[in-house]
Structure 1
């Protein structure tokens, strides 16, 4: 039973809670009378924003479909219906654009018509305009895999018909039978999505990067269905490797969401050892790494302990794949991602690095769980494997994993492998780890440029979500996805793609491509949990070439609010407001006092080192002594490592302004507490 909400916006504050099953955490909540269960998916209606195309003949009043309608068939509609007619060899049709990627259905409303009999219509959904115009099969590979997006349906007389589900932005509607016109009073999309608030946020001095953060958040939000899917057109499945960047994005945007443990547990339950998750060895490794990320972010010890039997056995299986010489001997499908696959030497390098990362993670997790034996097995295997550093053979994905595993020097790896060629050799999945490896090398400027160029390149082609794969070489003479392909232009959707996603099979909403959203929150805002459950966090902003960045980062105790600004001398100053119970360690920035900045512990603040004014607030004195008018008064509490020093320090001079950017001598007011 879905919750249906009539709303044009998907940004609501209703939260669907989680419920735990016995073996598998389920995403359904609150059993209803009669055994029905409430779906975690809410529904929103999205109206078409434009008519992209209509046939030269056989279509009238298509603009009716762009008007406001009540969403209910009525006996007498105020506007004439859109009528679509077909004749042999000349089908009438219309193509509508909903303006954004949709996971869900198309709903068609019909009026009264002569004859009172149902009529047939062909409905084609597409993530691009050209996909919605294509016939099944053919050179461009349009298909109905995983979700039926091209079908003939029967439309009722004076009624409503719903078609789907699938992932789409465009719908083409054709009349099928000659002399049986299709009459439409309204066509709208039904967006199915989790109605959860976006606790995390990000803005910066570069609007393109701000937009990229939002698009990555939108991409994963659409994939958060009953379980966490790879993509919404295809495969609509839980792929554990895909989940790692998705979970990183969810943690940065939404905080905890039960779709993550539900998907982790589902995959565990259907993958008895010694099988690999999804049939891929590296995906079982990503399962371990996701669990450590969830533990660091949310600190749910009960959930972590529930993983222990499977986790311990999996880690011992992985440790056994490190030979006495330190080389990995991973069996099964040896896979990082599709674009990496032709370079098997690079895949080998990446698997060696990923295995070390996984065993290091296993050492920490099993130590936390008190299993010193398995922790020791992981540690010994990781130490052996760390001594073998395969050549990545130019693979940016493989080299990035070796760098992140601490097996190759980060700066040398960036200079020799990651930076040459720019975005060439980067993929939407493993680009996340290339960005992290660049950050580790201190090359924030290069990482930001890569995000602008590579992920921004999809936006330049009309994307509202990020794609399963992308290659800048495809963009030469390419058309946008929101237009019909002009003569002489390349179809960026139908003419491109590779491997299992050639042509229109290519997914244009794929969660593994959301990495920049997580990266901008973690590296530019600079937020990292230092203790499980975010009882302590590090703030180490990497502004790169940005003038400022601000946002929020979710924690179990509430969001951390941050703003970072670059000063004329190149240094960074920050305003950080953590929730109660979250201590902050700041690195590479000067923390400024601000409203609600309780719990901030600055590292290296010059003359004021070790002293932090917290709880700064403005009060009004109603009847100040000796003053005839109401005046503001600042109050604060001083903390210091030397408590006596804090008590002795009784006089302060404080710059006061209405917003952080005005806190400069000569711009702000100077208040003296003395």
Structure 2
């Protein structure tokens, strides 16, 4: 046996991992930005056979692991750093007895906080356990015997994808050989790994085994090439991480960060000429810019928001460009382009005489002031008003120290004048500047000419097809837009034959129609791959979501042959157990897009969308869980989501609205929905042990919320008091009616959860608090004049003059109103008054549908689905939109129908069509009893099935016979009780088939 292997003979097979491994890394940095690092361990397996082998592995921030060159898996699942998630992979089938084997791991350390990652430090922990006769035979753990090297193929100064996500990929295939994962293949500077410490060290104080299965990786092929263009790129594009420059410590969080300062560059022209300075992705802190003393406000620039372009004149020699910044951002970064009809070079004003072509071409002055904003804290500051939080960005001498310098810098017109401020000027670090913004190059062109797509090239994107030659055009690049036929989420795979140095840029987006392309503003959804010579393939390491993929081939010295473009669809592994079909094909399509939306938004947690954010939004997941119960029946992912939330208590006792996240933000309703979802999970699964474990956490946060009741007995909260994307009155400080009402309902749900958890007395106390809050709402928030509930009472005591459907729906749904008030709300729900703010998102429609079901207005619910979801289908949607295009607030461009075209909070029909039209509901905790109560809703027939949490399914088919008779067929497991409830006034025949009965 190899002397490097550690013998474990005689030890029992552990239920978890008995760690002998150490956390390891390479280099000396405690936390490094966008570092891609490789690790390897070669070892010899003994000749004798073995029973099984398991590799336990985790890393900060993400890993891809290979065994003998085979990609085994990716991870870890998102988790709090102090509860680091660890995966276990079965690897016995990949190991070779009596031969040398290799474990290879690529670790991507972000070095910045995101909306799904809290900043830790770079590290890898892995352990291979090989078992024989039920006992561990030997173990290989990460330690100093592992070798490590920076992956030299990845550029560390890549752009941030968005404030929610980490970095894009920029990979050079010539600089690194993918054979590094194969036995006995080492290249580059491989050094001994550095041991950091044992499991349990800071910041990973516990390592928690993942209870979730690995995500899928299913190859998906395009359906066609939508278009082909010859494109001429703009001359210079850049990406700048201004936030990290102005506030270096902001990498530790993802809170909005305000700052005031300047960015400078010198544009050196070989002669006089014309040009354009552009910001293809907008940039919220940018308020003014100057070139050679000529000034321009951002609002005066050309382009449809958020794109902004300034047409300028360059003089021969040096032209000083400055950008004035006074605003806030989460961390999305600045994309900048400079184009000209003359040759220009971009350089830093500090290096005008330098020949350092790889030096950063930008410098900055500032920050004159910074401000970190946390929505639920009393952290107001005079600067807060100036940097864009409240809309004003006119600075005066009271704003901050250094105001005089700040004002004088607006008069600087030349690099020579700027020299007098040399003591303030500093260069951008190279890692904060990316040359060639692929996003800018994808959305902004000098020219773009459409060409016919050769049939041979269309065939090249089909599975098992011959290669197609990518057309080339003199002096231009070749752009293909590839249609995958539906929204997907996962990892891009490219296969092509190309000359060395060819650039292949990929850019994913979700929607295009009739010449309009909806670019992903706020999301740099791109990848750059620089080819080596010959036939090659690349599989992306970064998850993306899109339907359309723009592939642009640049600088090819000979024709490029395309052998394939695929997507590895990656989601939680789920079977499509749920079914729904009916006499209306439109409803069938609506149910299908709801199902597909939910699938794409099930990763290691529910996520809001697969493209823009990939964030676990706590409140969204309550509705997503209900849809999932009816379509897929998965429960482990729901439990995992619910368990993650209390980890945010160190950020706020009110629990954060997205976790685990560097953004410490609170939407009170999202906490309430989480508490309700805990109760619904227990009701759905019958898991009383979960109720016992989660109840103290529910009690903890709700007790803190009750501590925010004012003298009137109303919840008065600072926070992001959100319910819907619509112009309702939901201020960040005040008494907001909808969240007071939802708190009432939550307190009653918590009371039931407490009873199940064995804390009935505490539950009674919460129910009593709910009743007192209900009375306070009716006393203070009902308008007799308007005969409706007010949206809010502002912090200054001013009653809102806004009336909204959102508030009335929630007040009715949560049982706030009684008597005549309840009847009034019922009339509003059935026929919404035009003067009320109307529902603005499918998320809010979920609660509206719950209210309609409570009213027995099932046909009205189906009509609303046809109207709102039908317009999605009309626009060729394959997934559900985030918003309805009802309000100007919802779109910056008349062609833009919504922001995200795939958003799981919008998949309500996947739940309501099964629960109400098909009519399958739980009648007892854990679905021990099934209720079948179909609601025809104007349909002639419907059929489908609903998965059960204990396994199996309930199948239902019904058909209308005559005027009011229903032919009903139910098929279900034999051990379940069944109640059948026909609609009032209906009769019919019922056939029940029991599965498993003798």
TM-score, normalised with respect to structure 2: 0.51
Q: Quick one: distance in 2 between partners of 1:461 and 1:71?
A: 27
Counterpart selection for 1:152 from 514, 521, 528: 528
**In the TM superposition, what are the counterparts of 1:267-666 in structure 2 within 5 Å?**
267-272=645-650, 274-278=653-657, 279-323=666-710, 325-339=712-726, 341-342=728-729, 348-387=736-775, 388-389=777-778, 390=781, 391-392=789-790, 393-408=802-817, 412-417=824-829, 419-420=831-832, 424-472=838-886, 492-493=895-896, 496-497=897-898, 506-557=899-950, 558-589=952-983, 592-594=989-991, 596-597=993-994
Q: Work out the CA distance in 2 between the residues paired with 1:511 and 1:454.
A: 16
**Quick one: structure 1 residues 2 and 451, their matched pair in 2 at CA, closer, same or farther if it must change by over 3 Å?**
farther
Verify the 8 A CA contact 2:675 2:750 in the aligned structure 1.
yes
* Structure showing greater relative contact order (alpha-carbon pairs closer than 8 Å, 6 or more residues apart): 1
Quickly say closer, same or farther: Cα 1:381–1:192, change in 2 above 3 A: same
Q: Is the 8 Å Cα contact of residues 525 and 542 (structure 1) preserved in structure 2?
A: yes
Pairs within 5 Å for 1:148-187: 148-156=524-532, 157-163=534-540, 164-177=542-555, 179=557, 181-187=559-565
- From 548, 551, 571, give the equivalent of 1:193: 571
> Does the CA contact (< 8 Å) of 1:209 and 1:452 recur in 2?
yes
SS in 1 for 2:491: strand
Do 2:224 and 2:461's aligned partners in 1 also have CA atoms closer than 8 Å?
Answer: no
Deviation of 1:162 (Å): 2.8
Instruction: Decide which structure has greater helix share.
Output: 1
Per-residue deviation, 1:298 = 0.8
Alpha carbons of structure 1 residues 527 and 176: separation in structure 2 relative to 1, 3 Å? same
- Using the alignment, how far apart are the partners of 1:27 and 1:421 within structure 2? 53
State the match for 2:52 in structure 1. Answer: none
2:392 — aligned with what?
none
Contact residue 231 and residue 237 of structure 1 kept, 8 A: yes
In structure 1, what is the Cα distance between the partners aligned to 2:82 and 2:922? 29
Q: Is the 2:688–2:756 Cα contact (8 Å) retained in structure 1?
A: no
Query: C-alpha deviations, 1:41-64, integer Å up to 9, x for none?
Result: 111222221221112679797433
- 1:248-288 deviation line (CA, Å, top 9, x unaligned): 11111111332222222222223345133222211111111
Tell me, what secondary structure is at the counterpart of 1:293? helix
How far residue 592 of structure 1 moved from its aligned partner, in angstroms, is 3.9
Cα contact 1:110–1:185 (8 A) shared by 2: yes
CA–CA distance in structure 1, aligned partners of residues 614 and 875 of structure 2 = 24
**What corresponds to 2:414 in structure 1?**
none
- Normalization by structure 1: what TM-score? 0.73
Write the distance in 1 (CA, Å) between the matches of 2:514 and 2:706. Answer: 46
Q: Does the 8 A contact of 2:673 with 2:746 survive in 1?
A: yes
Q: 1:543 and 1:60, CA in 2 relative to 1: closer, same or farther beyond 3 A?
A: closer
2:455 pairs, out of 41, 63, 70, with: 63
- Find the aligned partners of 1:585 and 1:591 in 2 and give their Cα distance: 15
Q: CA deviation at 1:171?
A: 1.0
CA shift, 1:130, in A, is 6.8
User: Secondary structure of the equivalent of 2:219?
Assistant: strand
- How many angstroms apart in 2 are the aligned matches of 1:438 and 1:535? 26
Q: CA deviation at 1:144?
A: 5.9
* CA drift at 1:71: 7.0
The structure-2 alpha-carbon separation of the partners of 1:367 and 1:160, relative to structure 1 and needing over 3 Å to count, comes to: same
CA distance 1:443–1:61, shift in 2 (3 Å): closer
In the TM superposition, residue 197 of structure 1 has moved relative to its aligned partner by 0.9
Q: 1:304 to 1:351 in 2, by over 3 A?
A: same
Counterpart pick for 1:83 among 470, 473, 477: 470
**Corresponding residue of 1:604:** none
TM superposition shift of 1:439: 1.5
Note closer, same or farther for the CA distance 1:459–1:424 as it changes in structure 2 (3 Å cut): farther
Query: Displacement, 1:215?
Result: 0.9
Q: Is the 8 A contact 1:563 1:575 kept in 2?
A: yes
- Equivalent-residue separation in structure 2 for 1:453 and 1:2 (angstroms): 44
Whole-Å separation in 2 of the counterparts to 1:406 and 1:160: 59
Query: Alignment partner of 2:216: what SS?
Result: strand
**What pairs with 1:94-113 in structure 2 (closer than 5 Å)?**
94-111=480-497
Counterpart CA distance in 1 for 2:489 and 2:863 is: 31
Maintained 8 Å contact 1:468/1:512: yes
Q: Greater Rg, structure 1 or structure 2? A: 2
Kindly report which structure 2 residues correspond to 1:213-232, keeping only aligned pairs within 5 A, or say none.
213-232=591-610
Alpha-carbon distance in 2 for matches of 1:304, 1:575 = 35
| Matching residue of 1:608 | none
Once residues 830 and 715 of structure 2 are traced to their aligned partners in structure 1, the CA distance between those partners, rounded to angstroms, is 23
2:369 alignment counterpart: none
Instruction: Classify the secondary structure of the residue corresponding to 2:549.
Output: strand
Residue 239 of structure 1: how far off its partner (Å): 0.5
Summarize the Cα distance change of 1:351–1:42 in structure 2 as closer, same or farther, 3 Å threshold. same
- How far did residue 308 of structure 1 move? 2.2
The aligned counterpart of 1:54 is 228
Q: Distance in 2 between matches of 1:131 and 1:180?
A: 33
Q: Which runs of 5 or more structure 2 residues have no equivalent in the other structure?
A: 1-62, 67-76, 93-125, 129-209, 231-448, 658-665, 782-788, 791-801
TM-superposed CA distance for 1:95, in Å, is: 1.0
**Do the aligned residues in 2 keep the contact of 1:82 with 1:184 (CA within 8 Å)?**
yes
3-state SS, counterpart of residue 295 of structure 1: helix
1: CA distance, partners of 2:975 / 2:492: 46
Distance 1:231 1:81 in 2: 33
In the TM superposition, 1:3-22 aligns within 5 A as none
**RMSD between superposed Cα atoms in Å:** 3.7
Q: 1: distance between equivalents of 2:601 and 2:805? A: 27
Q: Note the C-alpha offset of 1:593.
A: 4.3
Which shifted more, 428-437 or 338-347? 338-347
1:361-404 deviations in whole A, cap 9, x for unaligned? 01111111121332122111111122223315542222221111
Tell me the residue number matched to 1:124. 507
- Aligned residue pairs total 550
Displacement of 1:99? 0.2
**Does the residue aligned with 2:934 lie in a helix, a strand or coil?**
coil
1:340 CA displacement: 5.2
Q: Is the 8 A contact 1:367 1:375 kept in 2?
A: yes
Q: Deviations over 1:484-525 (max 9, x none)?
A: xxxxxx7633xx55xxxxxxxx21111000112111111112
> Equivalent of 2:630, from 243, 246, 252?
252
Give yes or no for contact 2:509–2:549 (8 Å, CA) kept in 1. yes
Describe the shift of the 1:545–1:267 C-alpha distance in structure 2 as closer, same or farther (beyond 3 A).
Answer: same
State the SS of the aligned residue for 2:470: strand
Q: 1:24 to 1:404 in 2, by over 3 A?
A: farther
Indicate the structure with greater strand content: 2
